[in-house]
Amino acid sequence: MRPDENQSSHEPNTQLSLQIIHHRYTQHDNFAFPKTLSLDESNYTIWAPLMRMRIGARGKIGYLTGAKAKPSKNSPEYETWVTKNEKVKSWLIGSMETSLMNRYIHLPSTKDIWDAVEKTFHDDSDETQIFELNKKCFEAKQNGRPVPTYYNELVAMF
């Protein structure tokens, strides 16, 4: 068999393989997110990292962070950006309780929604305070003090 015959016989298979991989990737990207957790007033601390992982796994994290900036309307990438931005927005909005959707659905970009939700629900000081209180509680010792004094110190921490 000549080398050029061998090469041509594998070329269609290679193209077919690339088409199948592209189809699988595109299909994966279009799947709806599982509705195992919807953002409500109390679960942002678990919802946000879960959404970040799901969106990152689909190669769209730049829409959350702003790294994938909106091109100008004259740019050839504009339509693609709008389409992908709308897709990621739909993932975010679709993962919220209905009562929260209306607050964020009209924001223009995925990053705007992500930032607004974070501003609304994330309170860094609460996590820091909880950590500090836990640390104080575990370090607290009676050290020969009367029980009522030690008890009052513990109650004040909680």
Residue reference for tokens 């309780």:
97
Say whether 96 sits in a helix, a strand or coil: strand
pLDDT tens-digit readout, 45-63: 899 999 999 999 999 999 9
**Residues 6 or more apart in contact with residue 62 via CB below 8 angstroms:** 68
pLDDT tens-digit readout, 133-144: 777 777 888 888
H helix intervals, the chain: 3-30, 44-57, 61-65, 78-94, 98-104, 110-121, 124-139, 147-157
Token pair for 14: 């290679």
Looking at the predicted structure, is the pLDDT value of residue 73 above 70? yes
Looking at the predicted structure, is the pLDDT value of residue 156 above 80? no
Chain-centre distance of CA 110, in angstroms? 11
49: left (phi over 0), alpha (psi -120 to 50) or beta: alpha
Query: How confident is the model over 27-52, as a mean pLDDT?
Result: 79
Better-predicted residue by pLDDT, 37 or 4: 37
pLDDT for position 128: 56
Q: By the 8 A CB rule, do 38 and 96 touch?
A: yes
* Nearest-angstrom CA–CA distance, 53 and 32: 14
Looking at the predicted structure, is the pLDDT value of residue 9 above 60? no
What ranges do the domains of the chain cover? 1-31, 34-122, 124-158
Query: How confident is the model over 1-7, as a mean pLDDT?
Result: 47
* Nearest-angstrom CA–CA distance, 92 and 38: 10
